[in-house]
Amino acid sequence: MTRLTPLAEADLSGYLDRLVRDYAADHVRGGRWTEEESLTEARKEVDKLLPDGLASPDQFLFAIVAGEPEAKVGELWLALEPRGGFVYDLFVDERYRRRGYAEGAMRLAEGIARQKGARTLSLHVFGDNAGARRLYARLGYRETNVRMSKSLEP
């Protein structure tokens, strides 16, 4: 069984370090930021969303807990915005992948978002993240916009 529990204060800074690193690397690959500026820019965006850490309004950070015996296997960050629910991050530790934990966590997040009044749940995924795209397609998410890019380097 998969459960979502509020992320512990003690886990927040390690979690955000990992998130910022991954987010920065994704946007360097995507061409939005240079390597040099990426960590600072990523941290700025995250800090803006979480001005009061775990107590920030409309931001819900969860640990994904699953397995037998139970362990913390990853994290999910759900936000409630005027446009509806938005999943800012979904992460399952490598050693726990392909066991259905992300799928379970997303289904729970859908229930929580619905309970809080959201009528839609959305997220962003990079085009080359085939595994995550397959997961979301399987859960019923549909593409709402597609940004395309081509390298002009020789």
Ligand X SMILES: CC(C)(COP(=O)(O)OP(=O)(O)OC[C@H]1O[C@@H](n2cnc3c(N)ncnc32)[C@H](O)[C@@H]1OP(=O)(O)O)[C@@H](O)C(=O)NCCC(=O)NCCS
Chain residues binding ligand X by CB under 6 A are 90-92, 97-103, 123, 125, 129-132, 134-135, 138
The residue (of 48 and 98) whose beta carbon lies closer to ligand X is 98
Least separation, in Å, of the C-beta of 29 and ligand X? Answer: 12
**Can you list the pairs that 94-103 forms with residues at least 24 positions away whose Cβ atoms lie under 8 Å?**
96/66, 96/67, 96/71, 99/66, 99/67, 100/2, 101/2, 101/64, 101/66, 101/67, 101/73, 101/74, 102/64, 102/74, 102/135, 103/135, 103/138, 103/139
Least separation, in Å, of the C-beta of 113 and ligand X? Answer: 16
Residue of this chain nearest to ligand X (CB atom): 131
The residue (of 33 and 136) whose beta carbon lies closer to ligand X is 136
Least separation, in Å, of the C-beta of 22 and ligand X? Answer: 7
